Structure 1
Amino acid sequence: MTTTGEKQELTIRLCRPRGFCAGVDRAIQIVVLALKKYGPPVYVRHEIVHNRYVVEGLQERGAIFVEELDEIPEEHRHCPVVFSAHGVPKSVPADAQARNLFYLDATCPLVSKVHKQAMRHQRLGRHVILIGHAGHPEVIGTMGQLDEGSVSLVETVEDALRFEPPAGQPLGFVTQTTLSVDDTAGIIEALKQRFPDIQAPAAESICYATTNRQEAVKAAAPGTDLFLIVGAPNSSNSRRLVEVAEKAGTKRGLLVQRAAEIPWDEIRDISVMGLSAGASAPEIIVAEIIEAFRQRYDVTLDLAITAVEDETFPVNRELRDVPLTTEDMAFVNGTL
């Protein structure tokens, strides 16, 4: 153990890319712009992204989060409602129209791409296999694009080996956008071995941000005593990052939402730590965690850069005339 004065030396391998992706940035921006254009309250069905800090920040600005549209009071039926970045079943916008609600869809364009891939399989007469996690909002939304009985969920290699398709029907598959790249490859391989004629989507379903963050963690993890991932417990892509770090060689992977959750008594004797953030975790929390370690250790930052992201997705046409202040942009970008 090397110490400087009273503090133990600690190298933090800080991954890049990390944190907000273009789809999350766009979804948060849609809520902020709607609040500015239409005034509060703006209703949001489900968490706009899986991050408590972001949700609470939007609540302070006047957003109200609901799980279902029937929770919107009659006197607020004129207020906008935003659908989350994870996507929704077709039944949700249909319900909104039946209730005469004005809605803004913040579904990530890459999730929408998976919806279109799945619908194309169905249109071509294929039974659709969706590789994903049961109960995740994105999975519910994707399955909800298709006719009942036309899609089957496969979560693991074991599921793929047990799956029995409808007799005589060709197969096509798509995947949730936030899965482990390596684990998903194993499931796809098992399906292809059993069903050689199964059709892949026209383009990769796992999104670029998920892949990039996993590759950065994979590169930084070997030789680390601890790997911290900033993210929520219900964030699929954040949980996958912990798994990737552990498979890539860290002694311990840990998911935390804020610095207050770090179990300091359990991690005293560390000299090299990895640090990244899931796609819905704001940069301000990464900075908070680095500062918490600086208070306890003599910290050296080592940047682990594996890709540079410059993707942007345009917001809804109805909102493109609304200007954002510098403070608004800082919140949207996760730095406030």
Structure 2
Amino acid sequence: MTSAGPGAKASASPAQKPKLEIKLCAPRGFCAGVDRAIQIVELALKRFGAPVYVRHEIVHNKYVVEDLKAKGAVFVEELDEIPDAERERPVIFSAHGVPKSVPAEAASRNMFYLDATCPLVSKVHKEAELHHRRGREIVLIGHAGHPEVIGTMGQLPQGSVSLVETVEDAAAFAPSGHGPLAWITQTTLSVDDTKAIVEKLNERFPEIIPPHKDDICYATTNRQEAVKAVAPDVEAMIVVGAPNSSNSQRLREVAERAGCARAVLVQRASDIPWASLGEPESLGITAGASAPEILVEEIIDAFAERFDVHVQTVRTADEDIAFNLPRALREAAAE
């Protein structure tokens, strides 16, 4: 379904510029889990004052992180980076989730912590724990080194979860044989890539137990479907997001596979590769789940300075999901 989208201000007469049709993917940008995580930091600052410490980037977006820093958030990678004199200050765990050792360490240091883990990631954690209690050997489909994967594997004793990243990994995976197999996934994967890996696991292990409900989150799926609807019809695709954002990288890959010859990931308008884009007549724009809408608007404005733009929104799904805030912050949210 296509509907009129936001316009953009031009800096010169449209007659002097080449025409550019922009197809704006929807849904795009912030998901409910990201919105909740950012609210947790902002409300903690409102209730407790600055500084508030955040372990790891609250979400993978430099603009968001810098904005929260300006408001009084201090970002650290590990809890021991927090000065002893500041241990009474709140510390927030990022939306990606953390291993169980992290809240345990915070408790041992008498730290007050707030968990901004996305509820859909927490669902995967609980799923992993359930499989483990039932004696199942767990296969996690995900990307090595990603904070979400580290957090999920860290819910269980070391060696309880085997990581599979590719179809080749699935083909080579050798179970220990200590129990039935079950698979779970990172929430921000390519839907198509994951399907291929699952097919290989099912082929090799027909009795493998799937998740009760799909682990790839609704927002990841919806944003990829919107890109698939737009990519075949545009000459280039801009994905607004950070290089370390898994869901943003997947959007770029999805655009390429769907038939867009030039798909690029940019953080800000200053990153647009003008020379390689040339003068396209059609352009798709989307944003990863951790990219704020203000950056999309910035990108559109940058193109409007060079082109006579017409913007259409291509909507493939509606989203109305919201997650509850931690109890400790609900009063601050109500004020």
Task: Tell me the TM-score normalized by structure 1.
Answer: 0.95
- The secondary structure found in structure 1 opposite 2:23 is strand
Between the aligned partners of 2:309 and 2:186, the Cα distance in structure 1 is 37
- Paired letter, 1:197: E
From 277, 286, 295, the counterpart of 1:285: 295
Q: Is 1:136 matched up with 2:125? A: no
CA contact (8 A) 2:97 2:152 kept: yes
Residues 57-113 of structure 1 show CA distances to partners (whole Å, capped at 9, x for unaligned) of 000000000000000001101000000000000000000001110000000000000
Distance across 2 between alignment mates of 1:89 and 1:4:
54
Change (3 A) 1:18 1:270: same
Q: CA separation in 2, counterparts of 1:251 and 1:272?
A: 12
Higher mean alpha-carbon deviation, 161-170 vs 69-78, is at 161-170
Partner of 1:76: 86
**Where do 1:84-233 residues align within 5 Å?**
84-233=94-243
Amino acid at match of 1:37: R
Cα distance in 2 for partners of 1:293, 1:319 equals: 40
In the alignment, the residues of structure 2 paired with residue 227 and residue 276 of structure 1 have an alpha-carbon distance, to the nearest angstrom, of: 8
Q: Residue 41 of structure 2 is aligned with which of 31, 36, 47?
A: 31
Give the Å deviation of 1:263.
1.1
Number of the residue aligned with 2:315: 305
Letter in 2 for 1:167: G
Question: Helix, strand or coil: the match of 1:318?
Answer: helix
8 A contact 1:129–1:151 mirrored in 2: yes
Q: Percent identity?
A: 65
Report if aligned partners of 2:137, 2:178 keep a CA contact under 8 Å in 1.
no
**What are the superposed Cα offsets for residues 267-312 of structure 1, whole Å, 9 maximum, x if unpaired?**
1220111000000000000000000000000001011100111100
Residue 57 of structure 2 corresponds to residue 44 of structure 1: no
- Deviation digits for residues 229-276 of structure 1 (CA, Å, limit 9, x no counterpart): 000000000000000001111111100000000011221220111000
What is the TM-score of this pair, normalised by structure 2? Answer: 0.95
SS of match in other structure, 1:299: strand
Partner Cα separation in structure 2 for residue 60 and residue 294 of structure 1: 29
Q: Which has the higher contact order (CA 8 A, sep 6+)?
A: 2
User: In structure 1, what is the Cα distance between the partners aligned to 2:281 and 2:225?
Assistant: 22
Q: Secondary structure at the match of 1:172?
A: strand
Partner letter of residue 132 of structure 2? Q
Q: Is the 8 A contact 2:41 2:92 kept in 1?
A: yes
Please tell me whether the aligned partners of residues 33 and 324 of structure 1 are also in contact (alpha carbons under 8 angstroms).
no
8 Å contact 2:21–2:310 — kept in the other structure?
yes
1:118, CA displacement in angstroms? 1.0
Go from structure 1 to structure 2 and tell me whether the alpha carbon gap of 1:299 and 1:169 turns closer, same or farther (over 3 Å shift).
same
Gaps of 5+ in 2: 1-12
SS in 1 for 2:183: strand
For structure 1, list consecutive stretches of 5 or more residues without a partner in the other structure: 326-336
Secondary structure of 1:44's counterpart equals: strand
Which amino acid is the alignment partner of residue 24 of structure 2? L
Counterpart contact for 1:13–1:273, Cα < 8 Å: yes
Q: How many residues align?
A: 323
Pick the aligned partner of 2:329 from 315, 319, 323: 319
